[in-house]
A and B are shown apart, each in its own frame.
Chain A
Amino acid sequence: MSSPTESRQGAADEMRHVARGEYLATVKTLADEGYAMCIDLTCVDYLELPGRHLPDGAEPAERFEVVVNLLDMRNRRRLRLRVQVPADDAVLPTLFDVHPGTEAMEREVFDMFGVEFSDHPDLTRILMPEDWVGHPLRKDYEIGRIPVQFKGANA
């Protein structure tokens, strides 16, 4: 089957796969090249799509994929980086030293998915209560709906 990870390449929509070991260095290099703003940092849990393949040259597909959106205001271009993070070793270096604005975004990824960021100044839960157990946006975490009277309601 075709990979669900191919994005539609528009004119300003460049996407790149990055290996986990080169992730921080790549972001630093890109920051020097002009991608000064980190717009978004999020994560996707591909547990329910196990057989996906990434384009050649990229590393093997893992369960978690952290997606970083960078913006170069001077040249008006954007770049999306995708990093594969395995489930059993869900650690990534933090981007806080390069882009301090990722502090809250990485906390949200930790809270919702359980991916840890090493050297993050304050890696705690941000959206759920501090004593919550589980990571809600993972695919093996139930939606948590209570049964209601109407049959066939989606959510």
Chain B
Amino acid sequence: MGIVNDVLDDGLGGLSHNVITGKLEDLVNWSRSRSSWPASFGLACCAIEMMATGGAHYDISRFGMEVFRASPRQADIMIVAGRVSQKMAPVLRQVYDQMMEPKWVISMGVCASSGGMFNNYAIVQGVDQIVPVDVYAPGCPPTPETLIHAIETLHGLIETNQILKRRDETGAGANVHVEYIEPGASPTPVLLGARK
């Protein structure tokens, strides 16, 4: 009895020190951002820097992203690395459509972000004309540090519930009751690694 009393007394008091409560959404977002797998969509020179980021020196494995999935069905992030030509644009859209929700897009390099130095008939002037882009990484090619910064920015966006908007639009996803907060006039701050 004394023990039970002790546990109850200490236990409940102890419980509040030993149990953390939080939102399931935060847990889901944390796990999503820490193991987001990229779909290999390397097109041109930026693909080489993307592979260098996956190499031993810059190592995006510490962010949980070293597995470049060949199949878009298994991928979360599509890093469009390189210039998108007119012939490639439908392929890009098809691969993007084949990815499962939740999915994000990083536009790596200036050619993917805006057409880059090739402002001509052959290159799509910005891949955001085809797929919705979440993070743009400038550079020609962006060094692996820039790409890692872009990836970390995206992870911050994932953690701060940016996905709610997307899910609402598409109407797909898990059967979780979410409370939609109307976005205010101020833009959503990027809190790298922070939780609300």
Instruction: List residues of chain A with CB under 8 Å of any chain B CB.
Output: 128-129, 132, 136, 141-146, 148, 153, 155
Contacts and interface: CB of A to CB of B under 8 A. Distances in A.
A142 B86 CA distance: 16
B87 A146 contact: no
A145 to B, nearest CB: 4
A142 B121 contact: yes
Contacts of A145: 119-120
B125 interface: yes
Chain B at the A interface: mostly helix, strand, loop or mixed? loop
Contact of A136 (B115, B119, B121, B125): B121
A128 B86 contact: yes
Chain A at the B interface: mostly helix, strand, loop or mixed? loop
Contacts of B121: 136, 141-144
A146 B125 contact: yes
B86 A155 contact: no
Kindly state the interface size class of chain B when it binds its partner: under 10
B89 to A, nearest CB: 9
A45 to B, nearest CB: 15
Interface of B: 86-87, 115, 117, 119-122, 125
Nearest to A136: B121
Contacts of B86: 128-129, 132
A68 to B, nearest CB: 25
B87 A155 contact: no
Contacts of A136: 121-122
A146 B125 CA distance: 8
Contacts of B119: 143, 145-146, 148, 153, 155
A111 to B, nearest CB: 11
B120 A143 contact: yes
B120 A144 contact: yes
16 contacts: A128-B86, A128-B122, A129-B86, A129-B87, A136-B121, A136-B122, A142-B121, A143-B120, A144-B120, A144-B122, A145-B120, A146-B115, A146-B119, A146-B125, A153-B119, A155-B119
B92 to A, nearest CB: 14
